[in-house]
Amino acid sequence: MDLYPLLFTPVLKDYIWGGRNLETKLGRPLPPGIIAESWEIAAHPDGESVVENGRFAGQTLTALHQQLGLALIGSHNEWAQQRQKFPLLIKLLDANDALSVQVHPNDDYALANEGNELGKTEMWVVLQAEPDAAVILGLSRQTTAAEFRAAVQAGNLDAFLHRLPVRAGDVVCVPSGSLHAILSGLLIAEIQQNSNTTYRVFDWNRSKDGQTRPLHIDKALDVINFNQVQPDLCRPALVAETDGVRRFRLCHNNYFVTERVELAAGAVYNGICDGRSLEIWGVVDGSAAINDVGLTAVRFALLPAALGRFAVTNPANSPATLLRTYVAA
């Protein structure tokens, strides 16, 4: 099977909190107007990225998955194959303004209440941050659903929100059930389950074209993890260091593992996609080549599970930093 690292044309979203920073700070060509999200690798009814290189060029990721099956996503994603659903969704976010305070359900709640949609566990890697940038993650103190509902109704929610200062390079793991918000002044790479289910708790009293966005208080209260009090940022753990390659584990959950891979000038990481899992690699600083497919920051490539051996090379005279995501057993 003639498989190769796949590049995609992303899907752009114009949500109210976006800006132009994907263009001004990352050098992305953008259409006019506000751009909040770039769905880099996506196979969802709300957005389909399209292959732009090689013999599969022009195909949507969903069509390619239907054609290749487990050769694309791997045996560790057999559950996703049974559902005919690509397992992951990769985004870039321009939080020019604050996102809503929100929560995502787990799979069981989503499937019971949102049709065929799954829940959402996600993680964020901060690419760029303005001074004093922060995120909301979890609760600032112990509370109950009833007390939290009363605070929402009274407009006193801020006292319950746990704010974490962040800077470039920081990592935030966001399990389903986490009350959270990305606040203004952040560019973020997001890795998540392939879902678009969001329950908004508070949207900063703003509107677009005179219309406020809907809130989902009842569902949010059903799924918020009220035991998640003052969580911290994720602390990267060194996995391996050899021949100019350093790997740090950033986030490990039931749906994906993400590593930061640092390549010194001229270094090579040799890997293998042996049929068990796809791999998604993204350059977030510098440049690299995966086999003969070149990447510069910030760009992602999908390596099919049955690709076989591959090499990630840093041909430059300066270091490169990449994100590597795969699915463990």
Three-class DSSP category at 169: coil
Active site (catalytic) residues = 200
**Rounded Cα gap, residues 139 and 137, in angstroms:** 7
- CB distance 182 to 91 below 8 Å: no
Cβ neighbours of residue 326 under 8 Å, at least 6 residues apart? 256, 257, 277, 278, 279, 280
Alpha helices by DSSP H, 43-144: 61-68, 70-73, 78-83, 107-113
Structure tokens of 93?
């976010």
Closest CA to 117 of 177, 44, 60, 48: 44
Structure tokens of 206?
């703003």
Three-class DSSP category at 8: strand
Q: How many C-alpha atoms does 265 have within 13 Å on its Cβ side? A: 3
Structure tokens of 82?
């049974």
**Rounded Cα gap, residues 226 and 82, in angstroms:** 33
Question: What is the radius of gyration, based on Cα positions, of the chain?
Answer: 20
How far CA 318 is from CA of 262, 266, 321, in Å, comes to 11, 8, 10
Q: What is the 3-state secondary structure (H, E, C) of 70-91?
A: HHHHCHHHHHHHHHCCCCEEEE
